[in-house]
Structure 1
Amino acid sequence: MTSRKLDALRVSALLVSASYGVAFLLGSGEMAMHFGMAGSLYPVVTALGMIALATFAGRLWRAAELIWDVLGNAYGDVTRKGVALLSLTWMAGVLAAQIHGGVAVLTVAGVPRVYAPVVMVVALLAASSVEIGVAAGFFACGLLASNMVLFRTVVQAGGLHLYVHAVPEFIRDARVLPSTDLLTTVVAVGFLVITGADYQQFIIAARRPMDAVAGCLIAALFLLVTGFLPAAAVIAAHRSGQLVDMPDAAEAIPMLLLQVAHKVSRGAGLVSLGVLLAAALGSGAAIARAMTGALAATLRAAARHQYASRILVVAAGSAIAVDGQTIISTIASLNIVYIAAIGLPFILYQAGRPVGARCASWMLKSGALVSLSASAMSWVSPGITPAWSALPAGLLASGAAGLWHAVIRTRSATG
């Protein structure tokens, strides 16, 4: 376990770095191109999740156990390994999003598209090897600088009034989103903020329980204050004609930062993109470290060869990054598989009504298999099978498996 030496500011910086990467910036900008201020949905839900996480951060700190250890103690070693393995699923989606966006930044910066993925992977491996406390200060500076440039972008594009009135604009535009997509995104993002190992690792590494709680609240405040900046910048720039003929909506934020900084000098433009890339690397590095921990909890060989495991997880994220989905959709689609599998056993445990070890194992396997199958069908035939269907299908399968096991057990006991 990471030594406990992080104060509240460092905890908050690392929590933000795990959120403030590509999905926060580029994903929000990409979504804003289509849904206006509702593009801020991801950062708003993440901030609310941080507030919820703060309510039991002290208990999590004292337990010093990640999600797979908590459920493993309740349901047995098979479930512990299963949850750790399933955690790799959603974390791979988040990592893929960071790589996807990092490639977009590098492309805007002038790196040939064919070489950009290789450069991003090498940089990510280097960032994931940086000591956790040093990374906190480095990425905090990068986040502060990127927000200063982004705020300048909003002002120059004439979007300051959009930012000031962001909350009512967000509520209005969010109503336009399909209710199923809205609910799925809220569940997919919010549940993972509360239970995700990438966030929990920083809570456990806090110096004191007070630092863990304060870190969550500071991170939530920062995310709420900055969460509307990307969408406001994109909307204002789009209305002023700055974003036309965009080949990829994910490049909207990098393109805006480059345009604003270029007014100072060409070097300033490259620096601004470098700062944005640093934020993406911070989030990607946090995910890569958490994925390595999950793999080590599942396979003994992975625990002995952690750097090789880190290379493996980054390679997996790179493969998923070419799925053709939007940044936030990539994250949500794989979050759903994880939630459908562990959601019901987790809720039952928190409610003080845990099921048996074998029943929990069946619930995990059924939920994951059905949800993953439904997700695969939505990827193959998006017009026929909606992406959100993977969540209720997986939860229903998990619940059915639990009921089936309970009936079989009752029959065996009475027979």
Structure 2
Amino acid sequence: MPALVSHPDEVKVVSRRFGMGAADIEKYIELDGYKAVQQAIAEGPDWIINQMKASGLRGRGGAGFPTGMKWSFVPKQAEKPKYVLVNGDESEPGTCKDHVIFLHDPHAVIEGTMIAGLAIGSKLGFIYLRGEYRYLLKVVEKAVADAYAKGFLGKNIFGTGVDFDVITQTGAGAYEVGEESALMESLEGKRGVPRIKPPFPAVVGLYGGPTVINNAETIANAPHILLMGGEAYAKLGSERNGGTRLFGISGHVERPGVYELPMGYNLKRAIYEVAGGIKDGKKLKAVVPGGSSCPVMLPEEIDVGLDFDQMGKAGTMLGSGGIVVLDETVSIVEFALRTIAFYQHESCGWCIPCREGTDWIKKTLTRVYNGGGNKKDVDNVQYLAENMLGRTFCPLGDAAAMPTIAFVKKFRKEFEDYIEGHKAGTPIITVEQLVGAH
């Protein structure tokens, strides 16, 4: 198991069982496991949804939509079966939180899936793991099998007359299926491309039935919320942003790791106190605050709270909680090229703005990186990104455009200085060689 890190400022809720052997069902039960779902069965769907609304829990996958409200959108009466879908396709660069939940506390995801099912009247849940997380599939499948063996899953769970089943599935390594409608397409055995909305999944989702889709961290919080009470959970965070969040702090810091901090915790403190500051005493150059799709922040912008609202006011996003710290040695030109190369590679190609936009930005930045650029290219990159924004079927185009626009606006002089200092004749390197060299 990877070594776990900790800091006194952490408030351990979803991570409270990490490092305690809770992947074993007996240990999980000893640590209050499967109590919340039994309480949920006794209290009923309305109570569950009211507790989730009171908690202020917002989607931990990045969208930040209120969880209790999302569950309440599912119609109580439906002609087709209802489903719960756990999005464990953690593919956003810089994000590394869901895998520690699956590794250390898989039963929390299972129990949370059951609670969501009880809330909406579903009898079947799917746990969809990122394709590269196949090493975790055995851990999750064993947890599911053990829950069945105990009578916690299947027919007549806990002897209550309630039925609920859980099925695990892995993807094939496509970033695109992190988008909820593409995820449903993939799970149905089709190509993972987004659906046009409306209709929305709460009404017409998986196999045409009403469906709740939540990130793995969101779902893993549900049992803790029911046990401690929604209002108590809400008080741990900031206004309109209840509870805690797993933040993966990586890059040029002394103590990289996954930390659970209260929503609204100061980003500057997270970097300099929790993660130990910039490695080797170097200066901070920039911070990507929530995964690669989030607009970059300058050092003078990071004295801000880590919640959805405060980060939005700061001109960026909380995203998936992946904080990437860049020191003074980083070339923003190279970093921007690496970022757009990822999104160009992962674009499903379904819509023209994303397919063509990411490709042309990558080609332009590759030319700049190789010494063949001119200052007009900087304007062209910004123009292309701005014309992708808000014009694609799914958020992948926005995820590529937003960081690109921020790189150009905040580091224009670095791009222009790079172009002046790297004229034609510089050895040509492909993006593939660039990535392979590091």
Q: TM-score, normalised by structure 1?
A: 0.26
Which of structures 1 and 2 has the larger relative contact order (alpha carbons within 8 angstroms, sep 6+)?
A: 1
Higher helix share: 1
Q: TM-score, normalised by structure 2?
A: 0.25
